[in-house]
Amino acid sequence: MIATAELHVHLEGTAPPELIGRIARRNGVELPAGMLAADGRFHYTNFLHFLDTYDLAASVIRTAEDYRDITYEYLASVAEDGGIYVELTASPDHAALVGLSDSEHYAGIAAGIDEARRDHGIEARILISGVRNFGVEAVERVARHAAQRPHPYVVGFALAGDERVAPGQFAQAFAIAADAGLCCTVHAGEWQGPDSIREALRLPVTRLDHGVRAIEDPTLVRELAERHITLNTCPTSNVVLGVFPSFADHPLPHLRAAGVRVTLGSDDPPYFGATLAGEYEVCREHFGWDDQHLREVTVAAIEAAFCDEPLRAALLARAHGPDPAARPSQEPAAN
């Protein structure tokens, strides 16, 4: 088994319908109408409808314990498939909408991280995310809160939501986050093309979430490679949402061949039928990547991670080291 690492996954978007149902029952709230299709999966017909369904599911997540459970269950599932590190993109706006304070929100996620480390040996950190369609002021508020309330697990600032709201409007929010020492990433180049990516690159970011439509402009691809910008790509999300018609049409192999640093992420796993290990398998099956290629993807993720240097060094040793699944068999035999 290859050691994997993930920089692009939305925390509320990791909870499958079964867990959302369990949390709703515990909180005594009805499942929102229209959230699920007849087959029990999340229901949406396009990206904007997906964002609405995501908001419906997030509306039943109410307590620190809910956030603990979602974090723990996701990290346990990733660790089971060889995952060693995850950066969880968390949205304080979604927590605030149900009346949860930032400190309870952080405490719930941190408890999930601590318990997953104890039980499954996986590490995780938090990226605080603004939602661009909630407006510039809301995103600046999120950045200010993150800047004013440092937390050891909060290492970065991200921007998600409807990409048609242009990234340049959020320059002030990114300046606030960057000035507070938070590393920054931004969704770009999924629904909008090269111009939007260029605008995003004027923000203080070292990574882009998606970024794959850079392929439409070879000069931009060269710039990404030269500036060592890491693209946190999510091939299954892209194909399910129709950004590209099939894996055969996905530009990931071309971006990688052009020297752009790329990582793999599941984005919103149960919505897209994705898992982190599954994204590695997609690359093996559709792009012909072998173990060496896939290990390089994990190393690229750890090199681009927003964690501290001692953790990065420990993760790099694990990524280069023996198969994570093989660790128990390296113990001396009992007799």
Binding site for ligand HPA (CB under 6 A): 10, 13, 54, 160-161, 187, 267-268
Binding segment toward Zn ion, per CB under 5 A, in 61-69, 218-226, 239-247, 266-274:
266-274
Minimum CB separation of residue 323 from ligand HPA in Å reads 31
- For residue 123, how many other CB atoms are within 10 A of its CB? 22
Query: Is residue 244 left, alpha or beta, with left meaning phi > 0 and alpha meaning psi from -120 to 50?
Result: beta
What tokens were used for 15?
Answer: 């909870």
Interaction between residue 69 and Zn ion (CB under 5 A): no
Residue 135, CB half-sphere, CA atoms under 13 Å: how many?
3
Q: How far is the CB of 143 from Zn ion (least distance, A)?
A: 18
Choose the stretch contacting Zn ion; rule: CB under 5 A; options: 70-78, 107-115, 143-151, 260-268.
260-268
As beta bridge partners, residue 10 has: 89
Residue partners of 252: CB distance under 8 A and separation at least 6: 212, 233, 235, 262, 283, 287
Residue closer to Zn ion by CB (options 123, 163) is 163
Report the nearest approach of ligand HPA to the CB of residue 161 (Å).
Answer: 5
In the complex, minimum distance from the CB of residue 192 to ligand HPA, in angstroms, rounded to a whole number: 12
Out of ligand HPA, Zn ion, none, what residue 54 binds, judged by CB under 5 to 8 A for its kind, is: ligand HPA
In angstroms, give the least distance from the CB of 276 to ligand HPA.
Answer: 14
In the complex, the smallest distance separating the C-beta of residue 51 from Zn ion, rounded to whole angstroms, is 10
CA dist., res. 234 & res. 276, Å (int): 9
Nearer to ligand HPA, 10 or 62 (CB): 10
Sign of the four-CA dihedral 74, 153, 96, 136: negative
**Distance of alpha carbon 266 from alpha carbon 233, whole angstroms:** 8
Residue 123 contacts which entry, Zn ion, ligand HPA, none (Cβ below 5-8 A, type-dependent): none
Number of helices (H), then strands (E), in the chain: 15, 8
User: Residues of 175-185 as b/e, b for ≥16 C-beta within 10 angstroms?
Assistant: bbbbebebbbb
Q: Toward ligand HPA, which CB reaches closer, 207 or 318?
A: 207
CB 3 within 8 A of CB 298: yes
84 binds, among Zn ion, ligand HPA, none (CB under 5 to 8 A by kind): none
The reply to whether 190 belongs to the active site is yes
For the chain, the distance separating the N- and C-terminal CA atoms, rounded to the nearest angstrom, is 27
Residue 249 identity (one-letter amino acid): D
- Residue closer to ligand HPA by CB (options 2, 177) is 177
Sheet arrangement for strand 230-233:
4-10, 83-90, 123-131, 154-160, 183-188, 207-210, 230-233, 261-264
Token pair in block for residue 238? 């892209």
Which span sits near Zn ion by CB under 5 A: 15-23, 112-120, 124-132, 259-267?
259-267
Task: Pick what 268 binds: ligand HPA, Zn ion, none; C-beta below 5 to 8 Å, kind-dependent.
Answer: ligand HPA
Amino acid identity of 127?
L
267 lines the binding site for Zn ion (CB under 5 A): yes
CB nearer to Zn ion: give 36 or 234.
234
With CB cut-offs between 5 and 8 Å by kind, which of ligand HPA, Zn ion, none does residue 318 bind? none
Residues 193 and 221: beta-carbon distance below 8 Å: no
3 state SS of 91: coil
Question: Between 73 and 267, whose beta carbon lies closer to Zn ion?
Answer: 267
Residue 198 near which of Zn ion, ligand HPA, none (CB within 5-8 Å, type-dependent): none
Q: Among the options 6, 73, 140, 190, which is catalytic?
A: 190
Site for Zn ion, rule CB under 5 A: 267
The residues carrying an active-site annotation are 190
